[in-house]
Structure formats: structure tokens, C-alpha cells
Amino acid sequence: MNRYMPITGHDCNIPSLLIDTQAPIDVLHDATAYRIRAVTQLLENFAVSDEAPKGAVLLQELSLVCSILLRDGCDLMDVAGDSSKKNCQSKSQWAVLSRPVFVYSAI
């Protein structure tokens, strides 16, 4: 894996936004959490607001902002996951780390 990985949400022949694949896991985690929390807070504010955003253009722009932040967060999680796997000494250690944190149930 290359040291610097371009984020996938930005189509460009010459990438300018890169993720350092050798960054410490806690730094990758913090960057991921920041982006996901930003989207969560934005969506929660709209959910409890009496005045929902109106108009197709505004909704499209809000969707774009959310998708950019979530895509960046997913890219960061991928790098952090790869880094975690490399740091594990054996398969048994990775099995402990790879348990799902959240379980979703369709009711």
C-alpha cells in the first residue's frame, strides 16, 4: 500500500486530498469520528427542528455535504482497519479485534 492514499470522494486526475496510511490509529480514529459526528449532528438538528429545509436545491446541497463527510470517514476507517490488521501478531488476536461493535436488527 502506498503511504498516501487519495480520498475516494474527490474525482481528480491529480489528487490533492490524501490520507497518510501510516498515521497512528488514534489519529485516524479521531479524524473519522469528527466527520461522522458532524453529519450526525447536522441530521439530528434537522430531525428535531420545527423548520425542515425546503427546496430541492437545498436538500441536494445538504446531501452532498453529508456524503462527502461520510465518504471521508469510510476511507479513514478502511485505512485504520488495514493498520489494525497489520499490527496484530496472530490470527487469534485479529479475531478478538474484528468482532462487530454494532448489531442491526430488522424488525
Instruction: For residue range 4-54, list pLDDT tens digits in order.
Output: 998 887 777 887 888 999 999 999 999 999 999 999 998 888 777 777 667
Backbone angles phi, psi at 7, to 5 degrees: -70, 150
Among the ranges given (5-9, 26-30, 65-69, 70-74), the one the predictor scored with the smallest mean pLDDT: 5-9
C-alpha cell of residue 41: 449532528
| pLDDT score of 93 | 52
Residue 100: left if φ>0, alpha if ψ -120 to 50, beta else—which one? beta
